[in-house]
Amino acid sequence: MNAELRRRHYNCLFIILNSTFLTLNLYAQDSLYARKVINTLCSKQFAGRGYVNNGLDVAAKYITGELKHFKAQPLFSTGYYQWFDMNVNTFPGKMSVKINGKALKPGIDFIVSEESTGLKEIYFRDTKAGFIKGKLIFNLEKKDSVTYVGDSEIRLILSLKRKLTFSVSQERADYCAVELLNNNQYTDIKTAEVNIENKLLNKYICKNICAYINGTALNNDTVIMLTAHYDHLGMMGSKTYFPGANDNASGVSMLLNLVKYYTRHPPKYKTVFVFFAGEEAGLVGSKYFTEHPVFELSKIKFLINLDLLGTGYEGITVVNATEFKTRFDALKQLNTDKKYLPLVKPRGKAQNSDHYWFTEKGVPSFFIYTMGGIKAYHDVYDKPQTLPLTKYKEVFRLLVDFIAAI
């Protein structure tokens, strides 16, 4: 090989190796950035991204800051926010339960059902001391093998559960329901001492966060829409919060990673990114968006909703796969060709995340979530430390390839 050919050979080899390094570095940085986003959103100051201590607002400000950093354009002339309100039942203060005199740990030994009203310490008149504080202690009646009931002015319902699962309610009931972790320690329950603070927030102001990146196509009326919800369950008492790493800090991190990617690699079509609030309270933010559209929903060529993206050992599930079979087949073929994931599993129509209201309006939509790995869900154990991100990079690549194919 002469000197000139050798020089060209080494130059080509350098370009190939450099290109490979840059590609690997891009995805490595994606993973590092994902960890940073998830750790931030799950930290204490975000208070479970709920309605106690303004956790939802803190999360909105953080996400907006990231969008500004990546120079994604706000969807509205007034900024990134689409405002709406809803009622929400909260537990901002005292949170204590004793069973047969033994104190339980909130979130670990028990949770309060999301619709519950509060139960406070009571006051009674003492002839010498005046009004003094007393303990609200229930003598319980066993209704069946897993249910106990105690009556005062407010009814207490105790249930034994194999798993504790918290949620969010827009309404408040006239009873207090407490779920106890059934780890075979309760042979019989005689008494319960309960002190739970509750507050129903009327017309709590929430906001969807909406941004876009212009496409390269001349006809930029066509829209690709990528979504994820950023709210979670918030707090149960003044100390216990639900981090929500998989649900859905993982989806938010993926959506921000896609924003980051498309600001550097402009998409063909105008791409709209929406971070919904109110998902955990009943898909409230996405419903509001579809009922107050910023643009004609018929312009959306395809919508992909992302949730629970922190695992992937067993692949992904695609909701609406049976509704949009051609698109699903294309997604599955891409995965087969590139060997990203062990399985792309089809699932039918389901009202289980923010894609649903768009589907009801005729918008072709997928809801994608990962399978396998940790089982933490709507509990205090959904933490960044235990979130493996097993196939995070592969899901990212599959999404980019699929969007390009669209």
The answer to whether residue 8 scores a pLDDT higher than 70 is: no
How many Å apart are CA 305 and CA 380, to the nearest integer? 24
CB 160 within 8 A of CB 150: no
Q: How confident is the model over 317-344, as a mean pLDDT?
A: 98
Maximal CA-CA distance, the chain: 110
What is the structure's pLDDT at 405?
A: 96
Query: Exposed, middle or buried by CB within 10 Å (0-12, 13-18, 19+), for 292?
Result: exposed
- pLDDT higher at 350 or 6: 350
Mean confidence (pLDDT) of the chain = 91
pLDDT tier at 299, thresholds 50, 70, 90: very high
* Whether the bond into 89 is cis, omega within 30 of 0: no
**% of the chain exceeding 70 in pLDDT:** 89
What is the structure's pLDDT at 133?
A: 53
What is the structure's pLDDT at 218?
A: 77
The type of residue at 319 is V
What is the structure's pLDDT at 13?
A: 42
What is the structure's pLDDT at 27?
A: 52
pLDDT tier at 29, thresholds 50, 70, 90: low
Query: What residues have CB less than 8 Å from 88, skipping those under 6 apart?
Result: 51, 168, 169, 170, 200, 201, 204, 281
pLDDT tier at 128, thresholds 50, 70, 90: very low
Nearest to 276 by CA among 90, 86, 82: 82
The answer to whether residue 161 scores a pLDDT higher than 90 is: yes
Name all domains of the chain by residue range, CATH numbers in brackets.
29-88+201-405 (3.40.630.10), 94-196 (no CATH)
How distant is the alpha carbon of residue 278 from its chain centre? 10
* DSSP per-residue letters across 289-342: HHHS-SS-GGGEEEEEEE---S--TTEEEEETTTTSHHHHHHHHHHHHHHT--S
**% of the chain exceeding 90 in pLDDT:** 84
Question: Within 10 A of 66 (CB to CB), how many other CB atoms are there?
Answer: 21
- Residue given tokens 């993982």 in the structure block: 250
How distant is the alpha carbon of residue 97 from its chain centre? 28
Nearest to 192 by CA among 108, 322, 103, 311: 103
Query: What residues have CB less than 8 Å from 89, skipping those under 6 apart?
Result: 114, 115, 116, 168, 169, 170, 171, 172, 198, 199, 200, 201
Which DSSP state fits 231? -
How many Å apart are CA 334 and CA 317, to the nearest integer? 15
pLDDT tier at 185, thresholds 50, 70, 90: confident
129-156 confidence digits (pLDDT tens): 443 455 788 999 999 999 999 988 899 9
3-state secondary structure 180-207: EECCCCCCCCCEEEEEECCEEEEEEEEE
CB 192 within 8 A of CB 97: yes
Q: How confident is the model over 13-19, as a mean pLDDT?
A: 40
What is the structure's pLDDT at 10?
A: 43
Q: How confident is the model over 229-251, as a mean pLDDT?
A: 98
Query: Exposed, middle or buried by CB within 10 Å (0-12, 13-18, 19+), for 35?
Result: middle
Helices (H) and strands (E) in the chain, counts: 7, 20
Length of the chain: 406
Which DSSP state fits 345? E
